[in-house]
Structure 1
Amino acid sequence: MEVTAAELQPGRTLRPRAEKVPKIAPSAKKQEQCDELDPNPLLDEEEHRMKIPKPRHKTTLLKKKIARARETKASSPGSDEDFSLAKTKKQSKGTKKRKAPLTDNDAESFDGQPPKKKRKHAPKAEPVYVIPEVERKETTFRGRLGYACLNTILRNKKPADEAVFCSRTCRIETIKKNGIEWVKDLGRRNIEDMLKIIEWNEENNIRFMRLSSEMFPFASHELYGYSLDYCAPILAEVGALANKYGHRLTVHPGQYTQLGSPRDSVIKASIRELEYHAQMLNLMAIGPDGVMIIHGGGVYGDKEAALARIRKTVEEDLPKDVRDRLVLENDELCYNAADLLPICEDLDIPLVFDYHHDALNPSSDLTPSEIIARTNAIFARRGIKPKQHLSEPREGAVTVMERRAHADRCQRLPEALPDDMDLMIEAKDKEQAVLHLYRLYNLQPVIYASLRPPADIQSKETKGRKSHRKTHSKKAFASNAFGSD
């Protein structure tokens, strides 16, 4: 119904009615917008959609963002970080696409969030070992059995950062790269682990052990050697613990300790090595039972001349604290017990009798019982507890080189063994070889959880250090084996 001007109330005006605008369908409205953008209005909607550029992939945007970050970092002084992304391989069908790894700088440039850490898996459960029964044997021996340098159970603990051992070492190139303090820290970690090993030994009734000569790497080196005073408190703690439990700790410097060498440089290096071991034992406050055992060394083409040099070095060149701990041992190649006994008796130096070495390099005029009686007399004069070494060749060994290698475990105690003697078991299975003899002869109570089964098969091959040279002449081999220059 229309309203006239006369019918309006006073003060009101009549406005013209707005024209109705027809509603445009969404598709038509979109088409009009496309027509405004597209100079060709004849294209239909589908054709126009194909001409609109697609949004760029996230990877492209990410690369642009990294490029801008590079420019920003390059413009700021003192920043030369590399913002390169690792190249990603093309995704193959049926495989999950991998994300390109980013550097720490990339993560900070994007959102400040550090990369996610990998979740640590729970440690695997301890396996259940099947320990075979042993055939019981009888003996009157009631001395201490010991093992050398390494505890296999503690060394093989998992994860690897929980392993306990005392032979962390390095090369000279590493010393040049990392510095002497880094090497000294290895020694500190080695001696700290001795506390755990002594505690384990006490729990398992093992009160005799040989310390590793690699306890402090390169401590006796002419250029990179160092004093052990920096570790004096820890060494004192280890020695106090060993003395508290009544454990005997000894050392056995390596094969390069040659007191009979014709070269002065070798003798000086040997004396430095002995001084290093003596300082370690002294700082631990280990008593006279803490001896240092060495072999006679090489014969250098003249055994009598080499023996004379050994005698001269001991008498004239060794410091008193070194000589007080020095003990000689018969070996399987060069010097049998009969060769060394005259020097030992004249200079009052004890002789450690090795049963295995005597079997390979016997003293023709002396039986083991006669040798032991003479060596024990020296130990008694010096007030030192007698000690001996026991090992066995591997089963099936025939040649001398095969018979030299130690078996994993010893299966018997020697007949000539005195009842009260400290016997070092030199076997591949270390503490397991001691526990095996405990079970065989009922020497000490054994904790079943500490036992490990023996290997099914023992190889007769020796796995010594390999030379970088491809070939060796027979002359060079003989020179190395017998210590000749």
Structure 2
Amino acid sequence: MLFGLAIALRLRSVSSRTQLMTTPARRSSRFQAREATAVLKVGEKRKRTLSDDEVEYPSQAEAPIGGPGGTKALKKTRLPEPTTYVIPDVLKKETTFKGRLGYACLNTILRNKKPAKDAVFCSRTCRLDTIKKNGIDYVKDLGRKNVEDLLTMIQWNEDNHIKFMRMSSEMFPFASHAVYGYSLDYCAPLLASVGELAKKLGHRLTAHPGQYTQLGSPKPEVVVASVRELEYHCEMMDRMGLGVDSVMIVHGGGMYDDKTATLLRVKKTITEVLSPSARARLVLENDEMCYNAADLLPLCEELDVPLVFDYHHDALFPSSIPPSEIIKRANAIWARRGIKPKQHLSEQRPGAVTLMERRAHADRCESLPVDLPDDMDLMIEAKDKEQAVLQLYRMYGLCAVNHESLRPPDENQTTATKGRKSSKKQTKNTQGGEEDE
């Protein structure tokens, strides 16, 4: 008899638990949460149970409502916790410099906004397979969104006293492609609005086409592709209505085993192939591997093409001419052309030893160069982008700084060298890499 009673009680207990598990109205939100699963995208898809501290429980206002048994509770989105940044003091320094400081292509604060859909940046792109699958209108929409975000970046710069910026070369993906290239006419009104805003605020916008822009290549198809790339950048700037200060910077390129012959091909491309409007915006820059400032200066003076002097590149591949003399001669070209001179500044990463390591840019710059003219636009080519500019503002008292726009530097930057550690000697055909965006 006792055995039969025990069996009856056991069946009743199982029945009660089964009802609890199948009746939504009687399940607690905590019980539901413990049963929730999530997909982890690490290696392959796996499922795991969410712990209590990973689940947002519905508030009383979001309790199940509706017909018999109620409905499933609404999912609540967890808002990001406000972050408090500890900003270290900087070493105060003095300078007579009165020019503009700028950064290249990407704003770290805007790019890292959460959620990801709110991120602001101008380098949305895709693969060729995506164009083949989704059509050219898809890639054009990416370009339109990039331009819209450029307006936001310009306004952020204005609010933070930065009036100089390099635009991303991926503003319009594949616009210069031989097969899938397209006109920017579809985006003309939006591009015009960028130029109007930049002009209104007194901002300078420049561009730096990538390392595959080889004006001196011995392969005609490479030269043709390089010219298309420059013409695309020129069209973008022209449609923005930007003035002569908005230049396109390229390196000398590879040497192809004969530097003299390559420079002659560069000259021919500039004088015989480039359109007048593209040539009017063209500027050459010394690099750290193939062409130092002394290599390019005679060609620049002959063709009246301005030379951008890069301090970091000159330190790695110095000229026989001292920087002060190079800058003087280069500035004479800028003056003849009626263009505001500009230079590039970056520093090697702490701990860098080999040339490949030393080429990598540090997160920030610790000082302005000794030979820097007082009236010069200086592009800061540092990993921390706008933060590197703001730090120099604080160090030298150049501009007021909004504290809420500051972020602390990477604590590991002084010990971690991200440069490549290859010990292989560079060949004569090595092409110096373009500054990262």
Q: Fold-level match, TM-score > 0.5? A: yes
Q: Does 1:156 align with 2:112?
A: yes
Q: Which one has the largest radius of gyration?
A: 1
In structure 1, stretches of 5+ residues that fail to align are 1-56, 59-91, 93-114, 465-471
Secondary structure (helix, strand or coil) at the match of 2:411 reads coil
1:260 to 181, 197, 216: 216
Output aligned runs, 1:374-393, within 5 Å: 374-393=329-348
Structure 1 residues 322 and 117, CA, compared in 2 at 3 Å: closer, same or farther? farther
Q: Does 1:170 align with 2:126?
A: yes
**CA distance in structure 2 between the aligned counterparts of 1:252 and 1:118, rounded to whole angstroms:** 49
**CA distance in structure 2 between the aligned counterparts of 1:175 and 1:117, rounded to whole angstroms:** 41
**CA distance in structure 2 between the aligned counterparts of 1:241 and 1:286, rounded to whole angstroms:** 11
Secondary structure (helix, strand or coil) at the match of 2:177 reads coil
Structure 1 residues 390 and 441, CA, compared in 2 at 3 Å: closer, same or farther? same
**CA distance in structure 1 between the aligned counterparts of 2:370 and 2:317, rounded to whole angstroms:** 18
For 1:180, the aligned partner's letter is: I
1:248 to 188, 204, 226: 204
TM-score by length of 2: 0.80
1:481 to 407, 430, 433: 430
For 1:261, the aligned partner's letter is: S
TM-score by length of 1: 0.73
Q: Does 1:182 align with 2:182?
A: no
**CA distance in structure 1 between the aligned counterparts of 2:188 and 2:137, rounded to whole angstroms:** 16
Structure 1 residues 133 and 265, CA, compared in 2 at 3 Å: closer, same or farther? same
Q: Does 1:449 align with 2:400?
A: no
Question: Displacement of 1:125 after TM fit?
Answer: 2.7
Q: Does 1:192 align with 2:148?
A: yes
**CA distance in structure 1 between the aligned counterparts of 2:167 and 2:74, rounded to whole angstroms:** 38
**CA distance in structure 1 between the aligned counterparts of 2:428 and 2:133, rounded to whole angstroms:** 33
Q: Does 1:219 align with 2:168?
A: no
Output aligned runs, 1:85-234, within 5 Å: 119-234=75-190
Q: Does 1:312 align with 2:244?
A: no
Q: Contact 1:300 / 1:482 at 8 angstroms: preserved in 2?
A: no
Higher RCO (CA 8 Å, separation ≥ 6 residues) = 2
**CA distance in structure 2 between the aligned counterparts of 1:116 and 1:201, rounded to whole angstroms:** 46
Q: Does 1:373 align with 2:328?
A: yes
Secondary structure (helix, strand or coil) at the match of 1:457 reads helix
Q: Does 1:326 align with 2:282?
A: yes
Question: Displacement of 1:460 after TM fit?
Answer: 1.2
Q: Deviations over 1:345-404 (max 9, x none)?
A: 00000000000000000102x110000000000000000000000000011111100100
Q: Deviations over 1:218-244 (max 9, x none)?
A: 000000110111000000001100100
1:416 to 371, 378, 383: 371
Q: Does 1:300 align with 2:249?
A: no
- Root mean square deviation, CA, Å: 2.6
**CA distance in structure 2 between the aligned counterparts of 1:153 and 1:393, rounded to whole angstroms:** 23
**CA distance in structure 2 between the aligned counterparts of 1:179 and 1:442, rounded to whole angstroms:** 50
Residue matched to 2:418: 461
Question: Displacement of 1:118 after TM fit?
Answer: 6.3
Q: Contact 1:219 / 1:226 at 8 angstroms: preserved in 2?
A: yes
For 1:119, the aligned partner's letter is: K
Q: Contact 1:123 / 1:159 at 8 angstroms: preserved in 2?
A: no
Q: Does 1:291 align with 2:240?
A: no
In structure 2, stretches of 5+ residues that fail to align are 1-17, 20-48, 50-70, 433-437
Residue matched to 2:24: none
Question: Displacement of 1:274 after TM fit?
Answer: 0.2
Residue matched to 2:362: 407
Secondary structure (helix, strand or coil) at the match of 1:194 reads helix
Q: Does 1:437 align with 2:401?
A: no
Secondary structure (helix, strand or coil) at the match of 1:481 reads coil
For 2:338, the aligned partner's letter is: G
Q: Deviations over 1:179-216 (max 9, x none)?
A: 11000000000000011101100000000000000000
Output aligned runs, 1:25-104, within 5 Å: none
Residue matched to 2:15: none
Secondary structure (helix, strand or coil) at the match of 2:344 reads strand
**CA distance in structure 2 between the aligned counterparts of 1:428 and 1:117, rounded to whole angstroms:** 45
The percent identity for this pair of structures is 69
**CA distance in structure 2 between the aligned counterparts of 1:460 and 1:215, rounded to whole angstroms:** 30
For 1:419, the aligned partner's letter is: D
For 1:355, the aligned partner's letter is: Y
Q: Deviations over 1:275-301 (max 9, x none)?
A: 000000000000000000000000000
Residue matched to 1:17: none
Secondary structure (helix, strand or coil) at the match of 2:430 reads helix
